[in-house]
Amino acid sequence: MAERPEPPESWASLPFFIDGRWDTLWRKLQALPDWQPAPEAIFRALALTPRPRVRVVILGQDPYPTPGRATGLAFSFPPDQKPRDSLKNILAEVATDTGQTKADGDLTGWAEQGVLLLNPVLTVPVGLSHGHKALGWQALTTQILTATATDGPRVFILWGAPAQKLCAPLPRDGHLFIESPHPSPLSAHRGFFGSRPFSRANQWLAARGEKEIDWSL
């Protein structure tokens, strides 16, 4: 049986990890069959983007249910798999918005530059989207978002109504909120394409004297 993953140090002070909720959720996961990502990748987004380094938040939904595709980063694919569906549309918008072309679907390079690629639900049953929605992950996600908004000015890129609803309670002053339809093939043509989230984020960062994100990495 896998050992319980420990939260990355910069996020470990969140109440979720202190008050027993992570212990309870982990016990639930241990009793469930065939879920992903692997235990060591559950907190990969938090590990690659430490709390003091967060500059941009991109909020997903839950990990990909396709076997072997969930990486612990919202929207990211394993480097050996060709981007499809939402990610394919995201990278198409990167190209038209910024002129930058990304060679693969591995978004690790974004995370390492301070882009928190966060799924509100951090695990999923293999083959069943939203299957872990009721496990209690949203309590952690809410704490992460609140902490991020409290730490200082940030960019929040919110695609689709669920992401926008989850972030509705956050304070708006000092932050940049970029909202549009989801990049899913079902909704991308309803306003995601042409929304220019990547250049808008970089313009905001540059105006604050911060380094822009290289979306080609």
Q: Which residue has the tokens 């050992």?
A: 3
DSSP helix/strand/coil, 28 = helix
For the question of residue 62 being annotated catalytic, the response is yes
Letter for the amino acid at 9? E
Phi, psi of 127 (to 5 degrees): 85, 5
Q: For the residues of 138-151, what is the DSSP string, one character each? A: HHHHHHHHHHHHHH
User: How many alpha carbons fall within 13 Å on the CB side of residue 20?
Assistant: 0
d(CA 125, CA 34): 6
Give the relative orientation of helices 21-30 and 137-151 as an angle to the nearest 10 degrees: 140
The catalytic position among 19, 34, 62, 104 is 62
Tokens coding 70: 């969930």
Helices (H), 63-196: 85-98, 108-112, 137-151, 161-167
3-state secondary structure at position 189: helix
Instruction: Show which residues are catalytic.
Output: 62
